[in-house]
Amino acid sequence: MRVTVASVDGEQMTAAPPAGSGTAESGHGTPRRRAVGILLGVALFSLVADVVTKQLALSELTGRGPVRLLGGAVYLTLTRNSGAAWSIGSGHTWVFPLITCGVIAWIGWMALRLRSLPWAVSLGLVLGGALGNLTDRIFRAPGHFVGHVVDMVSLFDPYGQVWPVFNLADSSLVCGVVLAVLLELTGRQRDGGRAGAEAAESVEPTSAEAAHGGEQRGRA
């Protein structure tokens, strides 16, 4: 809401709304509560989809050879990975839950200023993927926080010789990170604005300020 007051010489001036008014919360971009809701919704969907596909892989692929799909472009082959891609760090499985907890904390910090729908989707994908693999680390064999991640998708080779065997959580993580990089490159910020836009607005005077300045110069 704007308040118009009259000055002593008859001119009208527009005052900014008082601090704490309802318009201050709206800001620009998506409202924060809605953006955080979208983030959590995307994360929950990714997590549930990952858990379901892993259970299907365990029930349908256990004791079975690789399943060839799309003419050999995709193979379904059940593996258990104690490390990261290409089994990196397989001897230090306990490290990965700590890294995941750090990622979750970082997403929580990012959500404090979240008003962007694309950023909400990106962070939701990363969060859902991180939670999907963290669930395996905590609850699957051989033990708590050292569990092996269930993977089942291999590209162009049945045993991951071309690309590491992965799962839906890995796909969510990669898509979320790629989207975040694109958003950074295009200048989209978490609060719904664009990099450089606020600086340009602060340098360029508004039409009302320009008119008022012209009147002051005319009287001088």
Q: Where in the sequence numbering do the catalytic residues fall?
A: 151, 170
CB 73 within 8 A of CB 92: no
- What is the DSSP secondary-structure string of 6-68? E-TTS-EEEEPPPTT-HHHHH-SSS-HHHHHHHHHHHHHHHHHHHHHHHHHHHHHHTT-PPEE
Provide the residue count of the chain: 220
How is residue 143 written in tokens?
């033990």
Cβ atoms within 10 Å of 148's Cβ, excluding its own: 18
Tokens of 109: 């910090």
Nearest of 45, 42, 50 to residue 135 by alpha carbon: 50
Instruction: Specify burial of residue 103 (Cβ count, 10 A radius: 0-12, 13-18, 19+).
Output: middle
Amino acid found at 62: T
Q: Which amino acid is at 68?
A: R
